[in-house]
Amino acid sequence: MRDVFHSILITLLVFISIIPVISVGQVRESANYKIERDSLNVGGGFSSSANYQTESSVGEVSTGFSDSDNYTVSAGFQQSLEASYISISSPADLNMDSVNGLTGGVSTSSIAWTVTTNNNAGYSLAIKASTDPALKSVLDEFQDYGIAVTDPDFDFSIDSTTAEFGFSPSGTHILDKFKDNGSVCNSGSGDTLYKCWEGLATSSQTVAQSASSNDPSGTVTTIHFQAESGADKILTAGSYSATITMTALAL
């Protein structure tokens, strides 16, 4: 009997959403000086006690925030708030190993995104697919991995007559539902590799979240993808692909 293999390609899209959106103006400088903030005042300085510390200036004029479509100005010595930002890495498309469409098989591969933000409220990272189901060819498809309960499946398990495609995240900031106690998801604080699987959807699903800044090092979240065809399932030969969108949002 002729073996039928299927190539799998995951195309990755990255979106960044940030609140607020701020443009930063250029500071004044030459070969001999650089002025980031200047002020004209008659007094001020540091004051402190056992319970507080303050830095003050007296006599400044024309202070505060000003902006237009093209710039933002933080005028005055005390207007030293850093512009909020968020960034996400943009990895290359992922090529997974082939799956035998006559006798069944499994293909598992991983890809990582790094999110960095100086936003004190943190960030969220979400995933979604462009199609339903996510992984398909012109003539056939893998069903999105389906589970019968609310929590992710600890093990990737399918019926022998089906072909399914799912994902599992790992990293410091993954949601509690993707953590495990060694046998059950959404229980404990473990992050066992290649465990706690869910199916993709065309609506965004949050996979990682933090309530604080992680600037400047950032945080890596790895998404593990698995495509599996059962021994009694026959898939049409061809190239199967999925387009996945990752969205980083400053909270």
> For the chain, which residues make up each domain, given as ranges?
5-20+85-250, 22-28+40-83
Torsion 154-156-160-164 (CA) sign: positive
Residue 152: Cβ within 10 Å count: 25
| Residue 15: φ, ψ to 5° | -125, 145
Would you say the pTM of this structure is higher than 0.85?
A: no
Residues 103-119 pLDDT 10s = 999 999 999 999 999 99
Is residue 246 within 8 A of residue 176, CB to CB? The reply is no
Strand 34-35 with 219-229, pairing: unpaired
Q: What per-residue confidence (pLDDT) applies to 105?
A: 95
First to last CA, the chain: 55
For 24, other C-beta atoms within 10 Å of its C-beta total 12
**pLDDT tens digits along 131-190:** 999 999 999 999 999 865 689 999 999 999 999 999 999 999 999 999 999 999 999 999
* Share of residues in the chain with pLDDT > 90 (%): 64
Q: Are 241 and 135 in contact (CB under 8 A)?
A: yes
Strand locations in the chain (E): 5-17, 28-29, 34-35, 43-48, 53-58, 64-67, 72-75, 86-88, 94-100, 105-117, 123-129, 143-144, 163-171, 205-210, 219-229, 238-250
Angle at 99 between CA 97 and CA 105, to 5 degrees: 115
Top-confidence residue, 96 or 65: 96
CA nearest 229: which of 105, 97, 96? Answer: 105
Q: Is residue 85 classed exposed, middle or buried when 0-12, 13-18 and 19+ CB atoms within 10 A define those classes?
A: middle
pLDDT value of position 150: 82
Q: How high is the pLDDT of residue 180?
A: 98
